[in-house]
DNA sequence: CTGTTAGCGCGTTCAG
DNA sequence: CTGAACGCGCTAACAG
């Protein structure tokens, strides 16, 4: 079948069913270039023409096709976001804050779930990189070498919660080390001398930093034994019994989720918190404040993280090379889940599990 | 500046910094059509040629530009997902499950957060619709009229948890009504005659369905008074005191988050659950099982919802018009947060659930 | 089986 | 200030 020859024999809508720039141009009696100029408000167009174009565009419900714009300009207005686990509330707070900022700048988020698998993380990052303007890796589990590979790709990468030296990527992170040290110090001051630590995922930078701090706590008299757990409620619940066998007077947890699971099991076993066992979390997710007893934890500023991450993206996109961000401080908040160990408090009344 | 005439005078990489189909074609000594064919494995290409192309593609690290593919085919391989609030864990499992299925089919998720605002929901849906192949609205708060508007757009829309009649959109939802009726029945059988209900967001279909069920509970002797609350832990915590003034023997909650907040406040006030007050949630998020006491609630199958939602998307994309889905059943799970009211138990010592 | 070419919808020189 | 024409990277006829 031969194409028709009539100059303006254009279908009312394009193949995809959307109104295109051509229909608007025809309706307004101008060229597509003028429509483009009006829409992007980048160049000056005679007032009445502009008004007419705007009118027709509104009437037809025209909105530019993002893919075509992306092709033409090389800018997709999308950021890729890779998280280790789409079921963890901690990441959602970051995502939510980042998304709020990004959408103000007209950006969309393409979200990918790596399922705690470093290999999948890499694969997702690679394929996402050519679909977006920038990539944000939240708490990536991948190795530094792998990160370095991503660094050399065309699209910029921003890191959240992985402050590694030797990699030139911009990043925002929280000061896990100081915060965990502070929590350990808090327990030491209360009089605890032996605690268990329900550890997080091994590849996690946060886990490494937190454990590094805990290991140093021996310096002020707190000996801490690690127990592999994970990053979820279930992990904390499951690992608690093993921790109890160590007969500690306190249990420190990788994060609030783990602490919540541990608390659940402790309550179930009839172990009084903080009477017989002190408990600390990390992150201060919403549940921490409402747990009973409320959790002593470290207030990781997820929303600031999200906001700052977006700011970094903007800077990197603008061609700037942001200075290495300082680590965000994490204030400790002491709530009801920690207290002096039983023997310290009740040395003269009721010695429970005395050492 | 005039274009050069040398046939293969092509830059090593395109403007965006990526390798394009042209470089691969040049390197392999074939046309771009052939490269396209071997990449899409849609047509048959001579084995040795295909091998050569694959080799060069791999060597150059070529991957097709998604925007260009989208433009050419009209298929973006992206779904838009709009949720009322990215901070609500209820949505996590749905999103995660849906994403898992979608990525198997080579699809990406573009996530948008409507912040519980129906107007924003509409705006996001509209703009997202021309950027994706299909749109999934999770628990939308928008009105039926608004939905009908979306229905007439070019891109298909799938609804999760909004089974409205009169709208031709495909949807998967859970049977909120039966489940809440079952919870109310459970309380009635235990002997409760007056309960408070911490209600969810008004525009929420789930809230409407759940309340409809609760209102019917008078039929079996349970009178329930609603108290406006919301969908978050904070809302439940804040609304509890007002509920207590009604002197009920049980408190039903819009969802587990609200119940968790209420439980938190109850524990704080020294009210024994379930001894002095029974409490029910809804959804069975992970926290419900690990709360102390664990929550009696309704097990909303988020993962099935996510999976089924994706299946619907696939069908709709294939041009099918899926039959209206039946409502997914929500089994009730009785855990430690509900018991007979105090007066009933002390009256006849302890025959539980007496007729 | 392979190459040529015409769009997909839009941004952007470059003449007028 | 405006319009014609080219190209972004790719797919899909259509010839060969």
One-character DSSP codes across A102-117: HHHTT-EEEEEE-TT-
Joined tokens for residue A169: 């990527």
Give the pLDDT of residue A313: 95
Task: For tokens 């909650």, name the residue.
Answer: B253
- Give strand C nucleotides closer than 7 A to any protein Cβ: 1-5, 7-14
pLDDT at A153 over 90: no
Cα A50 from chain centre: 42
Which of A37-46, A340-349, B122-131, B292-301 tops mean pLDDT? B292-301
Q: Average pLDDT, stretch A267-276?
A: 95
Tell which residue, A244, A287, A249, has the closest CA to residue A266: A244
pLDDT at A180 over 80: yes
Give the pLDDT of residue B75: 92
Across the beta sheet with A194-199, the strand order is: A223-228, A194-199, A250-253, A278-280
Give the pLDDT of residue A26: 87
Which positions of chain B have pLDDT values less than 70?
1-17, 344-355
Which of A37-41, A70-74, A301-305, B118-122 has the weakest average pLDDT?
A37-41
Give the pLDDT of residue A344: 63
Residues paired with residue A108 on neighbouring β-strands, in sequence order:
A78
pLDDT at A329 over 90: yes
Q: Distance from residue A15 (CA) to nucleotide D4 (C1'), in Å?
A: 24
Assign A167 a pLDDT band (cuts: 50, 70, 90).
confident
- Give strand D nucleotides closer than 7 A to any protein Cβ: 1-5, 7-14
Mean per-residue pLDDT over chain A, rounded: 88
Which of A99-113, A237-251, B41-55 has the weakest average pLDDT?
B41-55
Could you give phi then psi for residue A138, rounded to 5 degrees? -95, 125
CA distance B217 to chain A (A): 30
Contact A264 B291 (CB under 8 A): yes
Which residue places its CA closest to the C1' of nucleotide C7?
B72
Residues paired with residue A280 on neighbouring β-strands, in sequence order:
A252, A296
Give the pLDDT of residue B349: 44
Which of A55-59, A226-230, A295-299 has the weakest average pLDDT?
A55-59
Q: Distance from residue B78 (CA) to nucleotide C6 (C1'), in Å?
A: 26
The percent of chain A in helix, strand and coil, each rounded to the nearest 5, is 45, 15, 40
Q: Which of residues 76-135 of A touch B (CB under 8 A)?
A: 76, 78, 86-89, 92-93, 95-96, 99-100, 103, 108-113, 126-128, 130-131
A293, B318 in Cβ contact below 8 A?
A: no
A296, A169 in Cβ contact below 8 A?
A: no
Residues of A in contact with B74 (CB under 8 A): 15-16
CA distance B210 to chain A (A): 24
Q: Average pLDDT, stretch A110-136?
A: 93
A6 vs B26, residue with greater confidence: B26
Which of A4-13, A127-136, A343-352 has the weakest average pLDDT?
A4-13
CA distance B41 to chain A (A): 18
Nucleotide nearest to B31 in CA–C1' terms: C3
């Amino acid at each position: 079948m031969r194409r028709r020859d009539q100059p303006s024999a254009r279908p009312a809508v394009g193949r995809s069913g959307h109104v295109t720039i051509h229909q608007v141009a025809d309706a307004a009696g101008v060229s597509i270039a003028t429509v483009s100029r009006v829409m992007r408000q980048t160049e000056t167009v005679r007032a009445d023409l502009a008004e007419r174009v705007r009118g027709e565009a509104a009437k037809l419900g025209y909105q530019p096709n993002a893919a075509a714009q992306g092709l033409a300009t090389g800018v997709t207005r999308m950021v890729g976001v890779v998280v280790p686990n789409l079921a963890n509330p901690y990441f959602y707070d970051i995502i939510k804050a980042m998304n709020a900022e990004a959408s103000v700048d007209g950006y969309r988020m393409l979200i990918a779930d790596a399922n705690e698998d470093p290999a999948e993380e890499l694969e997702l990052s690679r394929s996402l990189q050519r679909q977006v303007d920038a990539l944000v890796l939240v708490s990536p589990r991948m190795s530094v070498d792998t990160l370095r590979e991503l660094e050399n790709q065309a699209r910029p990468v921003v890191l959240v919660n992985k402050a590694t030296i030797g990699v030139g990527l911009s990043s925002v992170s929280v000061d896990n080390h100081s915060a965990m040290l502070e929590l350990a110090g808090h327990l030491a001051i209360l009089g605890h001398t032996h605690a268990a630590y329900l550890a997080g995922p091994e590849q996690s930078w946060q886990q490494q930093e937190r454990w590094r701090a805990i290991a140093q706590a021996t310096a002020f008299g707190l000996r801490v034994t690690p127990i592999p757990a994970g990053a979820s409620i279930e992990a904390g619940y499951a690992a608690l019994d093993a921790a109890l066998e160590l007969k500690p007077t306190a249990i420190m947890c990788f994060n609030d989720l783990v602490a919540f699971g541990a608390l659940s099991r402790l309550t179930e076993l009839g172990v009084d918190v903080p009477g017989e066992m002190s408990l600390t979390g990390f992150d201060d997710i919403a549940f921490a404040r409402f747990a009973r007893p409320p959790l002593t934890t470290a207030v990781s500023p997820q929303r600031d993280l999200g906001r700052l991450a977006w700011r970094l993206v903007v800077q990197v996109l603008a061609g700037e090379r942001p200075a290495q961000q300082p680590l965000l401080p994490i204030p400790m908040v002491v709530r009801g889940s920690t207290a002096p160990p039983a023997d310290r408090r009740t040395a003269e009344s009721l010695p429970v599990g005395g050492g």
